């Protein structure tokens, strides 16, 4: 099933809400979700309808069934191994973001060019030199690289990742990367995000 990026984004936000409900809350209404996210109730209902059966009843959706349906639809249960390339502040912050593992993103190791960082561990993830990227990519069967190096190093490091046949690059640098068509690049465009939210009333 083809789901648009906007719907994927909203479904993951619904999942955050469900995830924080107490054990005793067995049902949730679309109104409550809509209110928390400041989106239209009709939008929430439509998104949830697209998931198939979510145990809708008079008092709302069955929380457990709705969570399961979102998890199945968005594929949280397929775990993917990933590397963080760049062990500075941003890379370290992402390495410490334990929620990723719950959503199928398993960060197995980090890379940096700084010799004082190589050999250390950040939140239990070992930091290696970039010259070991190919070897460790094969060892860990990782297909995602999260790129958090400084802008000026971004392309040079990308060339190493491409050479090692990485499949996905999640680009946190404000540099547009050059890579062959079979490498999928996702630009985490923070500037664009800022401009979206200050320019306009559309919800994310």
For its own copies, the binding residues (CB under 8 A) are 2-5, 8-10, 12-13, 16-17, 20, 36-38, 74-76, 80, 88-90, 92-94, 96-97, 99-100, 103, 105, 144, 148, 151, 168, 170, 174-176, 178, 181, 184-202, 204
Provide, rounded to whole angstroms, the least separation between the CB of residue 154 and its own copies.
10
Residue 8 vs 134, nearer CB to its own copies: 8
Residues in contact with 153: Cβ distance below 8 Å, sequence separation at least 6, in sequence order: 86, 113
CB of residue 9 to its own copies, shortest distance in Å: 4
Residue 16 or residue 31: which is nearer to its own copies going by CB?
16
For residues 170 and 159, give the distance between their C-alpha atoms in angstroms, rounded to a whole number: 14
Q: From the CB of 132, what's the least distance to its own copies, in Å?
A: 24
> Please, which residue, 57 or 181, has the CB nearer to its own copies?
181
* Sign of the alpha-carbon dihedral angle for 19, 50, 97, 89: negative
* Choice between 59 and 190, CB closer to its own copies: 190
* Structure token pair of residue 129: 């030199």
User: 132 or 196, CB closer to its own copies?
Assistant: 196
Long-range CB contacts (within 8 A, 24+) of 32-41: 32/60, 37/10, 37/13, 37/203, 38/203, 39/10, 39/203
Could you give the CA distance from residue 112 to residue 135 in angstroms, rounded to a whole number? 15
Q: How far is the CB of 171 from its own copies (least distance, A)?
A: 10
Closest distance between its own copies and the C-beta of residue 165, in Å? 17
Of 30, 8, 3, 7, give the one whose Cα is nearest residue 17.
Answer: 30
Our CB check for its own copies shows the closer of 121 and 131 to be: 121
Pull the structure tokens for residue 183.
Answer: 């490498």
């Amino acid at each position: 099933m083809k789901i648009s990026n906007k719907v994927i984004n909203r479904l993951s936000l619904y999942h955050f809400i469900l995830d924080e409900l107490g054990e005793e809350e067995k049902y949730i209404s679309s109104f409550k979700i809509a209110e928390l996210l400041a989106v239209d109730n009709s939008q929430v209902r439509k998104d949830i309808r697209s998931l198939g059966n979510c145990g809708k009843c008079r008092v709302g959706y069955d929380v457990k069934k709705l969570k399961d349906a979102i998890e199945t639809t968005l594929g949280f249960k397929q775990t993917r191994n990933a590397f963080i390339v760049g062990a500075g502040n941003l890379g370290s912050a992402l390495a410490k973001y334990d929620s990723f593992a719950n959503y199928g993103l398993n960060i197995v190791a980090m890379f940096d060019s700084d010799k004082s960082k190589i050999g250390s561990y950040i939140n239990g993830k070992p930091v290696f030199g970039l010259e070991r990227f190919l070897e460790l990519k094969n060892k860990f069967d990782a297909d995602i690289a999260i790129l958090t190096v400084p802008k000026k190093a971004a392309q040079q490091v990308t060339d190493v990742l491409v050479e090692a046949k990485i499949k996905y690059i999640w680009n946190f640098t404000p540099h547009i990367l050059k890579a062959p068509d079979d490498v999928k690049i996702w630009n985490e465009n923070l500037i664009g995000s800022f401009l979206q939210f200050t320019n306009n009333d559309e919800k994310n």
